[in-house]
Amino acid sequence: MYAALLNNQLVLATVEAQTKSKSVRNYFCPRCHHRVQLISKADGAYFKHLAKTANMMGERAEHAQSKLLLKEALRTAGFDAQVEIPLAQGQLRADVLASPQLAFEVQCAPLSLSEFNHRHQLYSEIGIVDVWVVGQRHYLRRQLKKSQLLFFRENELWHDYYLEINPQKQQLILKYNILLEPVTTRVHYQKMTFALNAQGLKQLWHFQPQLQVYQVNPGDQRDYLARQLIQQTKTGQSIATALYTRKLTFDDLPDEIFSKMRHVGQLNNVLTYLN
């Protein structure tokens, strides 16, 4: 950043670097209005966002506490669980290694797709099933985020599911039977909470729920799509291009594609239909 706000006035980093004032100068980002600091080096000057130290410290504490609680619960349940175990000739460190075939990864901080793929592939190569449990940053709420797609899993009983951990309440949260609305990114799911202890793990392991059938209003889905087209969002532009290419109009889209729920990771129903 080469400019920032100082007393609501835009100032240049190069000019501020030459200022001899000894008073504290509070700079703010013109876009997000968070604090930034002036960095002055021999080859130039710029502004940099302040590190989110408090948030990072909170995530580290959440991560450490979650690992220990999970390890103790597994040990009480009969597993020889250990934390921070190096694997794959030191290329990988398991958060909680429950057994030679089972590991738990507790993810509280941001995680890139490439890093996830690297760790997941290493686990696969050494024959260990990796179960991913997420902290507060990644909790699944009502709107799906792309960063959450890494942590979804599927099985016959729970369909698409998602595991969360709350060390303060000493709980594991299972969100299951997860589906997306036909066009929007709104998530529908069922939820069950388990105590983070041996009994809770046993209940989780043997949990056989009754799966709900979700209902959605097709009219609301059409209205959402109409707004996307008018506002020319990325989704709206993609659908407008597909409609134009196929010589179709908005009114040509059949009603059934606006009423059927879709799985996590699937394109919205309109693009699936047009493709």
The token pair that represents 4 in the structure block: 């920032």
Residue with tokens 């040990």: 75
Half-sphere exposure of 251 (CA within 13 A, CB side): 0
Burial pattern 154-187, b for ≥16 Cβ within 10 A else e, equals eeeebbbbbbbbbbeebbbbbbbbbbbbbbbebb
User: What span, in angstroms and rounded, lies between the C-alpha atoms of 151 and 172?
Assistant: 15
- Tell me what percent of the chain is helix, strand and coil, each rounded to the nearest 5: 35, 30, 35
pLDDT, tens only, 31-86: 777 788 888 887 788 888 876 544 555 678 999 999 999 999 999 999 999 999 99
The one-letter amino acid at 181: E
Angle between helices 234-245 and 218-231 (to 10 degrees): 90
Per-10-residue mean pLDDT, the chain, length 275: 87 86 80 83 83 61 95 96 93 95 96 93 96 96 94 96 96 98 96 97 97 96 94 92 94 94 95 94
